[in-house]
Structure 1
Amino acid sequence: MQGLLWAPRSLYARVPRLARVPSLQWMGIRFRSVKSFSREKRAEKPPAAQYSSSLRQKRWDGANLRSSIPSDAFPCLERANVSPQAVLTFFQANVLAWTLRRAVQDRLVSFGAPPGDAKKLLAAFAHASDSGFFDSPGAIEKYDLLRLRGSDSVEADVAFSNIFFRWLAAQDSVRGVNPTTVTKLVRLSEAATLMQPAEEFPMARKMRRKFIMHVGPTNSGKTHHALRALAASKVGVYAGPLRLLAYEIWERLNLGQIIPLGATEEQIAEAAKFGPSTDHPFARACNMVTGEEQKVVGVGADTLVSSTVEMLQVGLHADVAVIDEIQMIADRERGSGWTRAVLGLCAKEIHLCGEETAVPLIRELLKETGEEIVVNRYQRLTPLEVEQESLDGDLSRVQKGDCIVAFSRTAIFFFEEAGRNADRNEAALFNDPDSGYDVLIGSDAIGMGLNLKIRRVIFESVHKNDGDRGRVTLSVSQMKQIAGRAGRFGMQTGDEKPGGFVTTLRLEDLPVLRNTLSLGVSPLLYARVSPSKTAFGNLASCLPANATSETLYFADLHAGRRPLHCRTALPSQLPVVCEYIDQLGQFTFPDKYFIIQAPFPWRDRLALDTITTFISTYYETMHVDIMSIMGRLGYLDMLQNAETAMNAPDGRGANGRLFKHSFELPGLETFHKILVAYMWLSFRNPVSYPSQDETVKLKERLEHVLHWCLQEMTRFDGDKSVPVRPTRVSIPFQTPRELKLEAQQSKK
């Protein structure tokens, strides 16, 4: 079975509809020893279906992706990073500038305050600070000024707003302001307040759970110890940050590759006689649930589950649960999934694996529940060495077992064109020493725990683009997580020296990397929480009738109180999501909450248009058939055209024309995103979205085509095979402006 080269056939026999692992955006490229690469120029993204007029001439305007939050909405600072002792000074130095921002005034107006009252309230707030209101003993704690700690400009704006509403609630009246305005805003703040997040999970509150934290650097065996407890449990669940990581754990449990806790030396020795298979003495029936697919291996009381954090069923009663990469609880966009798991899981014993930095925060969260916590600390099992030299931009110095970590899609594509033939395939190809795929390209997501035989990590850069903050240096935690993936314990082959190595592609980045890896990591300050469905309904009654979905979310974010150790999640796609909801204009508040949580491909307009068709059909008929809609929109014809070309000697599709892989690929990728979205909808509402079997089959066919298409893009130029000698190149790290100036100088 192509696509899953490392799993025994016996496992497939147990899973009739086993889907292949699709190509990974974050995994990117594996260089292999076949010395050829594509000279075919990358085409503009075509209309995804040249086969359907309904999909023509639609493009996603990049301007629509810009945040609707004006740049002047935040204080004039790059990062607050204020110490507890300095928060009052920082607050008083910036509060006037914050109150004078037009965006802050407009936000109060959108919450229902008349423009005149909004200005007076903000002026009174600034005057109170100037008059020493916050100098009184206990004011810092009472009015949550400590929320300014560790804030960037976006978080600082939210913190100032939270402090404002906290101050407003303490006022009987504000001079010159209509009392009704104050009452409405205070009522709004009360509706948005969530001071006891744990109470959102009543089923878990009925249990007495035990927490065991496994903390330490990467490659220290912490997750291994937790998984052994899971493998020994009768009913258990694993949840991690990546779909492929959930897949890896699913596979290892089903094939008996995790030794259960409590196994005797005799049992371990006897089991060593068996190869990986579902008949292995340590094999456990384990199902898998991710946003893209579900794999059902067994049913009954003795079945385990492996899932992504967002798909975790917290109400499932289990003996043991393992939550991986617990430090992601502080992640601005996804952290609320980890908080939900910690507070809501109905498991007797919960193992949390990750960085030491998460320990104080988890202790703080569990103060509310009063549950037991044990912390096990581990040391790295193999040494990690920063090399003395960088590659100095010379790709000829890349070696077998290297992983180049890049931080933009452009950089990944550059490496694809730079030298050896490349292919996007499963992680097993890189781990297989005989596959020929001996160099890996990955993004920063590679730091999330996959077992890869990486000998050396090479940082393409030590900077990345981070939304509103622009280009920033990678954090200490990010660098340590990524670098630590080198030298995976137990995965060395032959005479390789144990341990891992790390370096940079550019000379100037190496000192930054070396200095950063020597630093300690500060404890996490905040866990992320999501607005509750109840809060959304309560807020709606407190806002003007014409309030937008974004106003609804911002009311929860800016007006509501949270415990000092919690912050509301900030999805980067929020403005786009809210605009989408309001344009359709037919959603109830539960529907809006549902869509805000949905992992739809918001950046792909073609995919989003089709998802809109799904939702509109649902409202019209309550029945969404995937085959009829995909046929009507031309996607089935697109797939058939590609499959015909894949099997045709002359490379021509069903339409009789030569198949251009780079031109067709974007449309096929959009089709894949649509199928993934339908699967997600069907998991939550299988009655209205019943085509799960058909979607799985379409997805398998499509992934086979995508794999072929990506292979052919690196192997062919048109319809002729063109072997190319490998070229040793140095990467031109120059901006377009620098290149232009260089060209002008050459002419002179």
Structure 2
Amino acid sequence: MAKKNKKNTKINQRIRKYFDDDPFDIGIERVESKTLSELFGALGIYDIEHNRDLMIKTLRMIWSEADSEIRRDILHFFENEGIIYKGDKVSEQHHFDRDAKIEALLSELDVTPEEATRLREAFSTIRSKKITIEKMESKLRHIRFEIKKEVLEKELEGFFDIDDSLEFNASLKYKIYDQQFHKILTLNTKPYSYEYIETEPFEAIVEKIGADKVEIVKAKQQSIEKFIASIKDPHQYLTHEEIVNSLRSSPPKTMLSYPLITPKVLRKIINQKIDAKAIDIHDEELLIEVVQSLELPNSQRVVEYNLDLHVELNGVLEEIWNARGFNFDQILNEYKSEFEKAFLEELEALVAECASYANLLNYEKEEIYNKVYDFLLDQLGIHLTITPKIYRKTVRRFLYSIQEELIKKQRQELLARTIRDFKNLFPIARDMKRKLTLHIGPTNSGKTYTAMQRLKDADTGYYLAPLRLLALEGYENLNSMGVDCSLITGEEQLINDEATHISSTIEMMNFDVDVDVCVIDEVQMIDDRDRGWAWANAIIGAPAKEIIMTGSVNAKEAVIALAEYLGEELEIIEFERKNPLEVLDHPVHIEDIKPSTAVVAFSRKDVLKLKQRLSKTFSVSVVYGNLSPEVRREEARRFREGETQVLVATDAIAMGMNLPIKTILFSKADKFDGIIQRDLFPSEIHQISGRAGRYGLEEKGYVGALNKETLKVIKKNFHKEARKIATPFKVMANLEHIKLVSSILEENSLEEILNFFIKNMEFSGPFYAASLDDMLEASKIVDSYNLDIATKYHLACAPLTLKSPYIITAYETYIHALEKQELVHYQRPKLNGDFAQTSQELLMAEDMVKEISLYLWLSYRFSDYFVDVDKATESRYILNRYIEKTLQKTELSQTCKLCSAVLPTNSKYNICEKCFRKNYTRRGTGGRRPRS
């Protein structure tokens, strides 16, 4: 670029001397029109209109935009021609000197007055020093040649063309059908050289060219007659009238080999061959505009565009006059293929550039293309041409559209680097010198008892339980041993200002409270699909000098892996079961069950069915997950104190419930785990079976089943070693982590933050982010309200039953009140009678207790708004008594799932007879009822 500028500077300096030191743009204004025309000829530009203003404007544009080669050509023109320009800056003395020199040189030449005049005019703008006798003689020869040509043109009634042929007009006769007419056509002879015209005598030239004219007219007449004779009759495309009119209206001078058909007729014929939007007829070509469609790549979009076909006019006329079956398919396909190929190449380059800017965002190919289309298509118009301007504008729009997303992604990457080492998110624990102790062994081995004794002796301590019921039990035991303890669960907080210890559910752990000893119960729960993250977080982040974990043997390797990751000391103490556990050889029929037996089922429905059957013979306690902790505790107390003889429970009893169970009987050996129906794992069988034969109450425990199939599975898996818990472990962000993510990403959507943590976090330790489906579902609800991120987090952690419309309705009501900053009052439920008559009424009562638990849970976090704690607590007591009385009944009626009518006792169907006849017998069910 530097060399080019240097060349241009030199040329600019040299050109100034021809304009009296003016720059090109100013000096060119003083150049004569004829000289301007000659300059265009010297540059090889012949299609310029010889209008002075237009020529000056064009030359200025050429000079400003041209490279140094074209500028040099312009400079050489002035240097070779020796031209000087008229203008105010040329002095009168200069004019006098030039005119005197011209006259002096003319006196030396033998010239006619006309020749002298032309010579004076030719040199009138040339600097006097550049006027020589040689240049005058050369110009004189040229003038004499031009004068001779002019005389010849007059004599021959024609004009010498640019190729030195004589152009003349001739009258030609046309005879076709019943018509005769003459038409003036412009014809050309062969070219005559400069030497021939200059040297041959005038009369000989006139005679020669005259004879040539006669021959040319004769040949043209014969050509016309031959052409007319070749026209087919009838003609495939043209009527008689159209043929005659085309011959009459054809221009006298044309480069075409065939007569030009009138535009109207030509368009009519072409439209029969191709669906054209527009047809323009030019001197030697047809411009046919057609509408085409293109399916855009990596998209479902189809765009229409105008395609211009440039077709040789002479070829079309040849096909028409010769009545051939021509078509445009090949031409169209070639143009379409070439055009679309060029467009798609430009598109691909555009998309590639946009994709390079969006590389961090990991867009799918289709997404990139569609984003580009969003910004490109409205600019293309009907011609589908990506100009440099459109290209640049599309890239700018694309960049603008992803700017915020790019910034967010960059922040995400920064955040990922910040928290990749998960243990460092718990600074208090990392600043302490912690010791890890693992108590492992089967149930009824004393591992938890030993840990609780160590906790009791510590100055300060934390007990983390898997269930509220166990947290309450730990709270009561510590207080009964003279240890001041507070209880913190999701639904209840009993705070003792003098407390040195805390008993808490594991999810409610406070990572900012440091203690001497922290007991983490049931550590094998680290492998739980939904809650395992809470154990991992607690082991990593509990701020205690000593962490005591209790759990089953299969958790050993998992805890060792965690200790190695944390770089902390680990002591492992193994415990043995204190009394034996025996598997029965034969199934126990339900009529042969003895007192102190627990029957295990795996659904609320099965528990209630078994309870009804056993109530005919025994007093029965019931424990299942849907019951409130208070009711479960009361049912367990009744069994423990002998008020009931048999316990019917789900696997909820496996989690640390100390009960006088002599025999565990499995009603089934499979369960629905929230995803699939599957056989029980050995670890589950061990955990549940271990509740039989409580040390100090029974010498031996027994494990069996109610049927052969179930007993077979129990026996097969009872002696199997439980699957070892393996890394990686699930971990989850707490509130402080959520706030960190929210701050860095500038994001207030809890769902977005959770998804970021789940999908994008990479940890250097043996972890991966927990997939908290329930919390994500809750976050979708809370994100629709205008709340801060901390409030959203607390709300999403609330105890919810997402499948219960009753609970979700109450939940949304509470959130709406928080958004409006309104007080939230608790509405007492209405109950019919002292106990439930049907299983549906019992389920509703259970949901009402859950609603109270939700209300109380929120009241501990938003105490300024949830003001009816006492009323809610009182209602929970009433509902719990209602449920307890219901469970003490021998039978519960079923209701029709369609009309809620009470069904007959032990009905094997879940709809009544009336609904069956109304809804199913007319639908071709063959009389089969839906099973319950």
Instruction: Report the TM-score, using the length of structure 2 for normalisation.
Output: 0.49
Counterparts in 2 of 1:548-563, with a 5 A limit?
Answer: 550=751, 552-563=753-764
User: Do the aligned partners of 1:336 and 1:530 also contact (CA within 8 Å) in 2?
Assistant: yes
Q: 1:323 corresponds to which residue?
A: 520
User: Do the aligned partners of 1:239 and 1:322 also contact (CA within 8 Å) in 2?
Assistant: yes
Report the residue type matching 2:528 in the other structure.
D
Change (3 A) 1:189 1:412: farther
Counterparts in 2 of 1:83-482, with a 5 A limit?
Answer: 113-116=362-365, 188=412, 191-192=415-416, 194-256=419-481, 283-296=482-495, 298-300=496-498, 303-391=500-588, 394-420=589-615, 422-424=620-622, 425-433=634-642, 435=643, 437-468=644-675, 470-482=676-688
Change (3 A) 1:679 1:520: same
Q: 2:242 corresponds to which residue?
A: none
Paired residue for 2:870, among 663, 688, 693? 693
RMSD value, Cα: 3.7
Quick one: distance in 2 between partners of 1:540 and 1:118? 27
Change (3 A) 1:187 1:618: closer
The residue matched to 1:363 in structure 2 has which SS?
A: helix
The residue matched to 1:359 in structure 2 has which SS?
A: helix
User: Do the aligned partners of 1:661 and 1:713 also contact (CA within 8 Å) in 2?
Assistant: no
User: Do the aligned partners of 1:317 and 1:347 also contact (CA within 8 Å) in 2?
Assistant: yes
Q: 1:11 corresponds to which residue?
A: none
User: Do the aligned partners of 2:421 and 2:765 also contact (CA within 8 Å) in 1?
Assistant: no
1:686 to partner: Cα distance: 2.5
Asked whether 1:488 is paired with 2:694, we answer yes
* Count of aligned pairs: 498
1:473 to partner: Cα distance: 1.6
1:244 to partner: Cα distance: 1.3
Quick one: distance in 2 between partners of 1:507 and 1:663? 32
User: Do the aligned partners of 2:782 and 2:815 also contact (CA within 8 Å) in 1?
Assistant: no
Q: What are the superposed Cα offsets for residues 199-234 of structure 1, whole Å, 9 maximum, x if unpaired?
A: 111122222122221111111110011011112223
* Bigger RCO of structures 1 and 2 (CA < 8 A, at least 6 apart): 1
Change (3 A) 1:698 1:247: same
Counterparts in 2 of 1:520-535, with a 5 A limit?
Answer: 520-525=721-726, 526-533=728-735
Q: What are the superposed Cα offsets for residues 173-216 of structure 1, whole Å, 9 maximum, x if unpaired?
A: xxxxx999999868646645643222111122222122221111
Quick one: distance in 2 between partners of 1:743 and 1:716? 25
Report the residue type matching 1:477 in the other structure.
S
Quick one: distance in 2 between partners of 1:180 and 1:667? 48
User: Do the aligned partners of 2:436 and 2:569 also contact (CA within 8 Å) in 1?
Assistant: yes
Change (3 A) 1:533 1:228: closer
Report the residue type matching 1:116 in the other structure.
K
Quick one: distance in 2 between partners of 1:360 and 1:459? 30
Change (3 A) 1:353 1:471: same
User: Do the aligned partners of 2:639 and 2:647 also contact (CA within 8 Å) in 1?
Assistant: yes
Quick one: distance in 2 between partners of 1:542 and 1:287? 36
Q: 1:103 corresponds to which residue?
A: none
Quick one: distance in 2 between partners of 1:205 and 1:617? 40
Report the residue type matching 2:635 in the other structure.
E
1:251 to partner: Cα distance: 2.2
The residue matched to 2:772 in structure 1 has which SS?
A: coil
The residue matched to 1:218 in structure 2 has which SS?
A: coil
Q: What are the superposed Cα offsets for residues 74-122 of structure 1, whole Å, 9 maximum, x if unpaired?
A: xxxxxxxxxxxxxxxxxxxxxxxxxxxxxxxxxxx9x9654426799xx
Quick one: distance in 2 between partners of 1:184 and 1:314? 29
Quick one: distance in 2 between partners of 1:353 and 1:428? 25
Quick one: distance in 2 between partners of 1:352 and 1:466? 26
Report the residue type matching 1:567 in the other structure.
Y
Paired residue for 2:711, among 491, 510, 513? 510
Asked whether 1:624 is paired with 2:823, we answer yes
Report the residue type matching 1:416 in the other structure.
K
Change (3 A) 1:689 1:207: farther
Report the residue type matching 1:678 in the other structure.
Y
Change (3 A) 1:404 1:181: same
Quick one: distance in 1 between partners of 2:518 and 2:740? 33
1:406 to partner: Cα distance: 1.0
Report the residue type matching 1:683 in the other structure.
Y
Report the residue type matching 2:799 in the other structure.
P
Q: 2:766 corresponds to which residue?
A: 565
Q: What are the superposed Cα offsets for residues 430-475 of structure 1, whole Å, 9 maximum, x if unpaired?
A: 1123x1x11111212221111111111111222111233x111222
Quick one: distance in 1 between partners of 2:851 and 2:866? 13
The residue matched to 1:707 in structure 2 has which SS?
A: helix
Q: Which structure 2 segments of 5+ residues have no match? A: 1-357, 370-401, 623-633, 896-904, 910-924
Q: What are the superposed Cα offsets for residues 215-272 of structure 1, whole Å, 9 maximum, x if unpaired?
A: 111111100110111122232221111111122222222333xxxxxxxxxxxxxxxx
Quick one: distance in 1 between partners of 2:420 and 2:869? 40
Q: What are the superposed Cα offsets for residues 26-55 of structure 1, whole Å, 9 maximum, x if unpaired?
A: xxxxxxxxxxxxxxxxxxxxxxxxxxxxxx
Q: What are the superposed Cα offsets for residues 353-396 of structure 1, whole Å, 9 maximum, x if unpaired?
A: 112222332233233443222111111111111111123xx311
Q: Which structure 1 segments of 5+ residues have no match? A: 1-108, 121-177, 257-282, 493-497, 631-635, 652-658, 719-726, 733-740
Q: What are the superposed Cα offsets for residues 683-732 of structure 1, whole Å, 9 maximum, x if unpaired?
A: 223233344334323322332333234445749999xxxxxxxx9x9x99
User: Do the aligned partners of 1:315 and 1:344 also contact (CA within 8 Å) in 2?
Assistant: no
1:565 to partner: Cα distance: 1.8
User: Do the aligned partners of 1:113 and 1:185 also contact (CA within 8 Å) in 2?
Assistant: no
Larger proportion of helix: 2
1:291 to partner: Cα distance: 1.8
Quick one: distance in 2 between partners of 1:353 and 1:448? 12
User: Do the aligned partners of 2:600 and 2:651 also contact (CA within 8 Å) in 1?
Assistant: yes
Instruction: State which structure, 1 or 2, has the greater radius of gyration over its C-alpha atoms.
Output: 2
Deviates more, 1:221-230 or 1:707-716: 707-716
Q: What are the superposed Cα offsets for residues 304-337 of structure 1, whole Å, 9 maximum, x if unpaired?
A: 3222111222322322221100111121211121
Percent sequence identity is 29
Quick one: distance in 2 between partners of 1:624 and 1:669? 25
The residue matched to 2:645 in structure 1 has which SS?
A: strand
Report the residue type matching 1:618 in the other structure.
L
Change (3 A) 1:330 1:119: farther
User: Do the aligned partners of 1:192 and 1:535 also contact (CA within 8 Å) in 2?
Assistant: no
User: Do the aligned partners of 1:190 and 1:560 also contact (CA within 8 Å) in 2?
Assistant: no
Quick one: distance in 2 between partners of 1:681 and 1:255? 29
Quick one: distance in 2 between partners of 1:548 and 1:284? 43
1:560 to partner: Cα distance: 2.1
